[in-house]
Amino acid sequence: MSHDNSDTGLDRATDPLEPAPGPDSAGPGLSSTPSQGSGPLKNTDMNCPPEAKSTLPELQITEKSGGLGEVARLSGPLVISFVSSSIMGLTDMLVVGQVGTGEQGGVGVGSAISWGLTSMAAGVVSVVSTYVAQAWGAGKRDQLARWTAAGFVAVALFAPFLLAAGVFIPDLVGLLDPTEAIEGPLIEYTTLMVLGSPAMLMAFVFISFYRGVGDTITPMVLTVGAIALNILLDLLLVFGWLGFPEMGVSGAALASVTATSLELVAFTVLYFHGKNARDYLTNMPAALRMRDLISFFKTGFPVGLGWLADNFAFNVMTLIIASSTAAATAAHSIAIQIVNFALMPAIAISVAGSTLVGQYIGAGRPDLSRRAASWTMKLNLALMGTLSLVFVIFRRDIVSLFNPDAEVIADGAFAITMAALFQVFDALSISADGAFRGAGQTVFPMVTRILIMNVLLIPLGLLGAHYGPSPLEGIWTAAVLAISLQGLIMFAKYRKGKWAYHSIEAVVGEKGR
Per DSSP, the residues of 142-180 read: GGHHHHHHHHHHHHHHHHHHHHHHHHTHHHHHHHH---H
Residues 330-335, mean pLDDT to the nearest whole number:
86
Give the span between the Cα atoms of 64 and 395, in whole angstroms: 40
Q: Which pLDDT belongs to residue 506?
A: 60
How confident is the model over 374-427, as pLDDT tens digits?
999 999 999 999 999 999 999 898 888 888 888 889 989 999 999 999 999 999
More confident residue, 443 or 66: 443
- Secondary structure letter of residue 470 according to DSSP: S
Percent pLDDT > 70 in the chain is 86
Residues 6+ apart with CB under 8 A from 248: 96, 99, 103, 185, 188, 238
Q: Is 366 helix (H, G, I), strand (E, B) or coil?
A: helix
Residue 324: pLDDT above 70?
yes
Q: Which pLDDT belongs to residue 34?
A: 42
Reported confidence tier of residue 132, pLDDT bands at 50, 70, 90: very high
How confident is the model over 142-192, as pLDDT tens digits?
888 889 999 999 999 999 999 999 888 888 887 777 777 788 888 888 899
Query: Do 126 and 290 contact (CB within 8 A), yes or no?
Result: no
Q: Is 60 helix (H, G, I), strand (E, B) or coil?
A: strand
Query: In degrees rounded to 5, what are phi and psi of residue 60?
Result: -100, 135
Burial (CB < 10 A; 0-12, 13-18, 19+), residue 47, is exposed
More confident residue, 285 or 306: 306
- CB atoms under 10 Å from CB of 34, counted, come to 18
Reported confidence tier of residue 20, pLDDT bands at 50, 70, 90: low
Q: Which of 353, 319, 323, 357 is nearest to 336 (CA)?
A: 319
Residue 344: pLDDT above 80?
yes
Give the span between the Cα atoms of 310 and 454, in whole angstroms: 8
Q: Nearest 10 degrees: CA dihedral of 163, 169, 170, 174?
A: 150
- Secondary structure letter of residue 468 according to DSSP: S
- CB atoms under 10 Å from CB of 119, counted, come to 21
Reported confidence tier of residue 59, pLDDT bands at 50, 70, 90: low
